[in-house]
Chain A
Amino acid sequence: MAKDILKIDGIGVDFGGYRAVESFSMSVADGELRVLLGANGAGKTTLMDLISGRTRATEGKVYLDGKDITNWQEHDIARAGLGRKFQIPSVFKDLSVAENLEVAGMRDRTVLRNLRSRKRRSARRDMFEVLELIGLTDKADERAGTLSHGETQWLELGILIRQDPKVILLDEPTAGMTQEETQKTSLIFKGLKGQHTLVVVEHDMSFVREIAEIITVMHLGKALAQGSIAEIESNEAVREAYLGSGGIH
């Protein structure tokens, strides 16, 4: 068993009386692909906000590779090795696809160290692999704002690959995608597996079956169950929680 790269210990947040996430704990091993399941309002996105520093936790701790990153600033958490993909695809619309990847791949993050000229050619070579993986080689010089919804999602995945963080959080990476696009996305995922640790929030069960190893189910801000697909699908507590929607399909 590999070591735990992401460890969440009893995290929670209190929004003026409303506890969106409550004493949630979870450990993710290095190189694992973890899927987070849960109904709307179960606290999945809030959990991601807590891990990535967007929302300040009122209880508990988050450890990334053994380092306590609880309530750090977002950019410090990102530098510590956490990447995040948003539900609504977010890329730099006015930059070209290649420039998007260039920004993602810079080794230095501080202003003063980046006061040097861009090395366009060698940078292009470095990002060739990523462009191939996300299938945007032909569109490298196009403005990211002109891409289709699916292409934008892939570009954001490409940005995360270039960023090369230890752990990547992905919020519904196939939302709004066509069947075909979803399939291509799962191919990209398979390419990521093993090299990166992924935590994925996803509703699309066919996609989850395709990619998942271990699933954690959230319910009302708490961890409800954890296990393989088969274990989750036969879990009593999960069935109970999902009874209204007729179980997981």
Chain B
Amino acid sequence: MTAKSRLDILAYLLFIAATFLMPAFLDEFWLNRVSKYLIYGMLGLAIALSWGYAGVLNLGQGLFFGVGAYMLAMSLKLASYTSLQQGSDKPVPDFMLWNAEPGAPTELCCITQGSFLWVPFQAQWFGLAMGLALPVLLAGVLGYAMFRNRVSGVFIAIITLATVLLVRLLVIDAQPLTNGFNGITDLGWFTIGGFEFDPYLVETYYLVAGCLAVTLILARWLVGTRAGLVLQAIRDDENRARYLGYNIAAYQVFFFMVSAGIAGLAGMLYVVAAEFASPTFMDLTFSISMVVWAAVGGRHSLLGACIGAILINTIEATVSESEIFLEAWKAMIGLLFVLVVLYLPRGLAGFANDVVDRLTGKSKKQREAVAPVTQASQTE
């Protein structure tokens, strides 16, 4: 093991340790906030995996986040007291009552058109399973269709973007089923073995931090496997890899699904921490924001992208006390992003890498060998 990769692993461990030490310093209000930023960090990580390692720029990652969020939110909505207080012993979401045709039976099976789809979500494990399975499945179908047809570069960007906006519109349009623009609110608490994860409990924070740690370690392991190496080879030169006998589409679809699964998990955790699901999760701006976080943190580093997301959102939270500062901060983000793309294409992680190399006295040429700037994402 080289000194370099030892340092890399040390950075991962330090970061994970730091997230677990947070409760010693923060009050419950800030812990809840930070848990959301850790979730954003997961999204940054998912983007780095698909963009940095696979060369697939997904402008619709919010789709998987949103779907994951809605799946769990449906279960938690049915567990909410607002769904049980309707004079019936069987739960019915309050908004369905408002949207129901006069005279419709107040039962989940048939109160509004399509409301039967909610029935299995009465079991929390179902929502939980769907929150992971549906994003992965969607990514599988979408990825298979794209990569099988050798769609690449900007065309992937456009398809993923169109897909997230399409699903967003469908969710908004299906008002009686999804509560449209308003999203799903007034949720019950996520429960495991009788323990209720109140978003302001330290245990909830640990749940999020634990999920992030496991995801980070798994993703780091994944890119270090042979498949991870092949994936990077594909990013560099699809044809070369193809003529070596690798089924390009299979690798791309697999990692696309992994990335979607991480985003789905992040979506579910967000519902636990923020207690709502909304179509804004599938806004264009949110999906592009994730890309911004990853770019600033470093698209070629899983940890870098993750930290980038946490950093940007933490700063945003501290300045958002005043409306003017928040607007000015948005402008700063715009400027920062332009500067990063122009002058720091490998982001903060790449910068840190260079600093470490300079300290350990490596030559410029060797530096390039360990920390390459990808061209794959830059040419069509």
Per DSSP, are chain B's interface residues mostly helix, strand or loop, or mixed? helix
Interface residues of B in 327-380 (CB under 8 A from A): 365-366, 368-369, 372-376
Give the complex CA separation of A104 and B229 in angstroms: 11
CB 8 Å contact bits of A6-40 with B (1 = contact, 0 = none)? 00000000000000000000000000000000000
Give chain A nearest CB distance to B260 CB in angstroms.
15
Check A92–B242 contact: CB distance below 8 A: no
Give chain A nearest CB distance to B245 CB in angstroms.
4
Give chain B nearest CB distance to A117 CB in angstroms.
6
Identify which of B224, B226, B233 contacts A92 (C-beta below 8 A).
B233
| B241 interfacial contact with A, CB 8 Å | yes
Give the complex CA separation of A108 and B243 in angstroms: 14
Given A92-B232, A102-B229, A118-B225, A145-B372 contact (CB < 8 Å): yes
Interface size on A, residues (CB 8 A): 40
Given A103-B244, A109-B245, A143-B369, A94-B230 contact (CB < 8 Å): no
Q: How large is the interface on B (under 10, 10 to 19, 20 to 34, 35 or more residues)?
A: 35 or more
Per DSSP, are chain A's interface residues mostly helix, strand or loop, or mixed? mixed
Pair count A-B, CB < 8 A: 115
Check A114–B245 contact: CB distance below 8 A: no
Give the complex CA separation of A92 and B243 in angstroms: 13
Check B233–A95 contact: CB distance below 8 A: yes
Check A95–B239 contact: CB distance below 8 A: no
Check A74–B242 contact: CB distance below 8 A: yes
Check A146–B225 contact: CB distance below 8 A: no
Among the 9-residue stretches A76-84, A127-135, A217-225, the one with 4 or more Cβ atoms under 8 Å from chain B is A76-84
Given A114-B227, A115-B222, A116-B226, A93-B245 contact (CB < 8 Å): no
Check B375–A93 contact: CB distance below 8 A: yes
B interface residues (Cβ-Cβ under 8 A, vs A): 221-222, 224-227, 229-230, 232-233, 235-237, 239-248, 250-251, 254, 365-366, 368-369, 372-376
Starting from the known contacts A75-B248, A118-B229, A142-B366, 8 additional A-B residue pairs (CB-CB under 8 Å) come to A75-B246, A99-B233, A109-B247, A115-B222, A115-B225, A117-B226, A143-B368, A143-B372
